[in-house]
Amino acid sequence: MTAVNGKGSAISLPISIRNVTKTYGTFTALDNVSLEIASGEFITLLGPSGSGKTTLLMVLAGFIRPASGEVRFGDRDVSLLPPHKRDVGMVFQNYALFPHMTVAGNVGYPLRLRGVAKSEIADRVQKVLALVQLGELGTRNIDQLSGGQRQRVALARAIVFEPRILLMDEPLSALDKKLREQMQIEVRHLHQRLGMTTVYVTHDQREALTMSDRVAVIDKGRFHQIGSPRDVYERPESRFIAEFIGESHLVAVSMRGGTAHYRDRPLQLAEPPRHPSGQQFLVMRPEKLKLLTGGEDGLNVFEGTAREIVYQGESTLLYVDLPDDVEVAIRQPATSVGPALPAPGTPVRLGLPAGDTMLVPAERAP
Ligand code: ATP
């Protein structure tokens, strides 16, 4: 996807991250990471706290210089360029707006820095404010805005000079859930309209799935899986990914003669294990399990005891104890059809369709 700016030229650039390592003393924050990001792509770096997301974004912005490796924007090696020469838009969580300036003053700042003529600045600021739905608020002071409006000002300031690359570090984390979800869609639409290559950092897996063309899951300074949102959710490559993305319970299985068994019963699988050596785990997602009352065709069956029912509004979770101290959960949508949930303490039979039965290894194969 390559978008075009007002002057009719392409505005996005591919990013190439090649064998980047960053150490702090003896600690390795980024461990030889490589990633190719296509022109116009929206990619999210997703990982737990301390995994290296911000460090990698700072390397792209030029605030952190890696110990080794290379960063290229298009065919240009930018590894040694300082931040202000990289021409990237940035929205960082603590990248504060200027409180003494108006909304328009803040948004116009990058243009003034670049020596753009006053009349053109006013015009471009107005256009970009309209784009983030703040057209009426140019003369307001920053302290007269809500949290969501401030985030939009920050976004407008990052895109007003039409950067080919936009870097965002948890830009929505300070907002409440409803506003955050609304802004996720707005940022996504903005990206679709403008088309700059975007690298977005979050530790919120739902946000990553909602917004991205691709998600790069990072932990301990390494990528563990890079793929479309559907890929990382439906086809996790390791136990870490299955547990980190979405809700899941992992059940150990034994491999005998190339077949996976749960307590001596062979399992029907969606596909053969992709990394069959070593301990395998069955990924049990609550929304994929079915409460069995009769037939079990095409299902892997698990018998246990209902333990607890948790009402969550749009759905209800039933926790079930399987033998050997294994806990799973099944999610029932809030509809009046379907079997009633069994009372705690009563026996339960759960079915997992073969098509949803997938195995993951403890670790991703090297
Ligand atoms: P969070 O979601 O909590 O912001 P993150 O994935 O963005 O986490 P980074 O900020 O990239 O994590 O940090 C990666 C690792 O590097 C962390 O373990 C952190 O403690 C360490 N680290 C970051 N900056 C420094 C520093 N200046 N000196 C020493 N260690 C650092």
Question: What is the per-residue pLDDT for 10?
Answer: 52
Residues 240, 46 contacting (CB under 8 angstroms): no
Average pLDDT over residues 129-150: 88
Question: Residue 145 Cα, ligand 1 centroid: separation in angstroms?
Answer: 31
Give the separation between CA 12 and CA 164, rounded to whole angstroms: 4
Phi, psi (degrees; rounded to nearest 5) at 183: -70, -30
* 165-174, 215-224, 273-282, 327-336, range with the lowest pLDDT: 273-282
Q: Six-digit token pair at 50?
A: 């301390």
Reported confidence tier of residue 162, pLDDT bands at 50, 70, 90:
confident
Pick 4 or 91 by higher pLDDT: 91
Q: Which two tokens stand for residue 253?
A: 């299985």
Evaluate if residue 89 carries a pLDDT over 60: yes
d(CA 201, ligand 1 centre) in Å: 13
- Pocket around ligand 1: residues whose beta carbon is below 6 Å from it? 24, 27, 29, 47, 49-55, 203
Kindly report the protein residue whose alpha carbon is nearest to atom 25 of ligand 1: 24
The identity of residue 250, as a single letter, is: L
Same fold, 15-234 and 239-361: no
pLDDT band at residue 7 under the 50/70/90 scheme: very low
Predicted confidence band of residue 146 (pLDDT cuts 50, 70, 90): confident
- Segment 234-248 shows an average pLDDT of 92
Distance 97 CA to ligand 1 centre (A): 24
> What is the structure's pLDDT at 365?
54
Sign of CA pseudo-dihedral 37, 204, 353, 259: positive
Q: What distance in angstroms lies between residue 279's CA and the mean position of ligand 1's atoms?
A: 31
Look at residue 117 and tell me whether its pLDDT is greater than 80: yes
Q: How many angstroms does the Cα of residue 200 sit away from the middle of ligand 1?
A: 16
Q: Which region among 7-16, 30-39, 109-118, 152-161 has the lowest average model confidence (pLDDT)?
A: 7-16
Taking 50 as the threshold, does the pLDDT of residue 309 lie above it? yes
- Residue nearest atom 31 in ligand 1 by C-alpha distance: 24
**Which residue's CA is the nearest one to ligand 1's atom 17?**
50
- Which superfamily, per CATH, for 15-234? P-loop containing nucleotide triphosphate hydrolases (3.40.50.300)
Q: Which atom of ligand 1 is nearest to the CA of 47?
A: 6
Residue 57 Cα: closest atom of ligand 1: 11
- Residue keyed to tokens 């150990």: 252
Cross-sheet strand order for the sheet of 88-92: 88-92, 165-169, 197-202, 42-46, 214-219, 222-227
Quick one: which atom of ligand 1 is closest to the CA of 52?
11
For the chain, the structural domain boundaries read 15-234, 239-361
Question: How many other CB atoms are found less than 10 A from the CB of residue 204?
Answer: 16
Q: Could you give the CA distance from residue 167 to residue 92 in angstroms, rounded to a whole number?
A: 8
Question: What class is the 239-361 domain?
Answer: mainly beta
**54 alpha carbon – ligand 1 mean position (Å):** 7
CA-nearest of 71, 47, 88, 82 to 170 is: 47
Chain segment 43-88, per-residue pLDDT in tens = 999 999 999 999 999 999 999 999 999 999 999 999 999 998 898 9
Tell me how far the alpha carbon of residue 286 lies from the centroid of ligand 1, in angstroms: 33
- Closest listed residue to residue 18, CA positions, set 78, 63, 91, 64: 78
Nearest Cα residue to atom 9 of ligand 1: 52
pLDDT digits (tens, 9 = 90+) for 339-351: 678 899 999 999 9
Sign of CA dihedral 133, 139, 145, 147: positive
